[in-house]
A and B are shown apart, each in its own frame.
Chain A
Amino acid sequence: METHTGLVAMHMSDGIVNAPTSLLFGLVAVLGLAVCVARARRDLDDRTAPMAGLVAAFVFAVQMLNFPVLPGVSGHLLGGALCAILVGPYVGALCVSIVLLLQALLFADGGLSALGTNITNMALLGTFVGYGVAVAMRRIATRSRGGLVVTAFVAAWVNTVVASLGFVVQYAIGGEGLALGTVFGLMTGFHALIGIGEGLITALTVGAVAAVRPDLVYLTRTAAPSLQIKTPGVRSS
């Protein structure tokens, strides 16, 4: 049997946590994604559906780009906050999930039995907590493009660290091999650094989209007070 170098493997493999834990988070992922599918519909129309497909493709591409954070340690985009800001949290969680699914099925990246844990951490936790941060900062985000860029950076940093905490919880429930405190310290430490890269990529991407097509940025498009009748794409030329 050919052994794989795993040089570009990026997500949890099979067996990193035990079977009951994998099953538990598989269930969490299925339930979470069911809610996302149901709620995504209202955020998808003729203009945003192609955009969401492209955002997923973009996240696949950028996840390949591991950047160094420490000697012998790299990081890569997770993409939750990026997706949530551009296409909304429900559609965004589906974008990240589709990327993770294809990576596991076709690219041998992330175990099949670890899909539940990986989706829970990166697609659900990362996306929704990142979106929560972005919404909390919406007054800053809607003030200027600079404000939006700063919001994107902070939301993305938090999404990275929270996703790494998701792993620590799963490891605490059903993992073994290293002291829990060490896992916590290393995971959060590494991801506090990786989050800076995630923040920069997210800020750059959201800033670029906002410069060209501000009507395609979900966060600021949906910031209008609910009294106002929302007309999709009113700011388009």
Chain B
Amino acid sequence: MKKLPLAFYAGFLVVALLLAGVVSYAASGSPDGLDAVTQTGCELDESGEPVGGQCIARNAGEHATGGSPLADYAVGGSEGTTGVAGVIGVLLTLLVAGGLFRVLRRRSRDEAPTQVE
């Protein structure tokens, strides 16, 4: 059985955790390209909600999961918790994606039942 590159996996995960948990605080707060387009033509209030004018964003509805404990990348709506929300997101993504890909993967060596790593 070929050895798995566990050290590489671990390093990759640490980088992702640092980016989501620490570097995310330095992210730009400006609307992204898409939001900048949908807000074009509207007057916005301080929270970025369109209050006047004509723009695409006026058609946007309230988010169905806006009450989620992780909504807007904050834990329970608390300021300054972006990094915590990010770390939770990275781990959840790893869990869901890793789980799905584990189920989908081809088993090595004729489905040998004794796969001890």
Binding site for B on A (CB under 8 A): 1-16, 37, 40-42, 44-62, 64-69, 72-76, 91, 94-95, 98-99, 102-109, 111-112, 164, 167, 171, 175-178, 182-183, 186-187, 190-191, 193-194, 209, 212-213, 216, 233, 236
Known: A46-B115, A54-B13, A98-B100. 13 other contacts (CB 8 A): A6-B72, A13-B63, A56-B97, A61-B90, A64-B73, A67-B28, A74-B32, A76-B32, A99-B93, A103-B89, A190-B37, A213-B5, A216-B5
Residues of chain B contacted by A75 (CB below 8 angstroms): 32-33
Residues of chain B contacted by A95 (CB below 8 angstroms): 97
Contact of B63 among A52, A111, A194 (CB under 8 A): A111
Contact A47–B40 (Cβ < 8 Å):
no
A116 to B54, CA, bound (A): 25
A187 to B39, CA, bound (A): 12
* CB closest residue in chain A, given B8: A213
Contact of A65 among B27, B38, B41, B85 (CB under 8 A): B27
Known: A14-B64, A60-B89. A4 touches B71 (CB 8 A): yes
Known: A107-B68, A186-B36. A3 touches B5 (CB 8 A): no
Contact of B102 among A49, A61, A72 (CB under 8 A): A49
A111 to B20, CA, bound (A): 22
Contact B27–A56 (Cβ < 8 Å):
no
Contact A74–B65 (Cβ < 8 Å):
no
A110 to B11, CA, bound (A): 30
* CB closest residue in chain B, given A233: B2
Residues of chain B contacted by A55 (CB below 8 angstroms): 97
Contact A194–B12 (Cβ < 8 Å):
no
Contact A15–B72 (Cβ < 8 Å):
no
A182 to B33, CA, bound (A): 13
Q: B48 on the interface (CB 8 Å rule)?
A: yes
Contact of B101 among A13, A44, A103, A182 (CB under 8 A): A44
Contact B41–A177 (Cβ < 8 Å):
yes
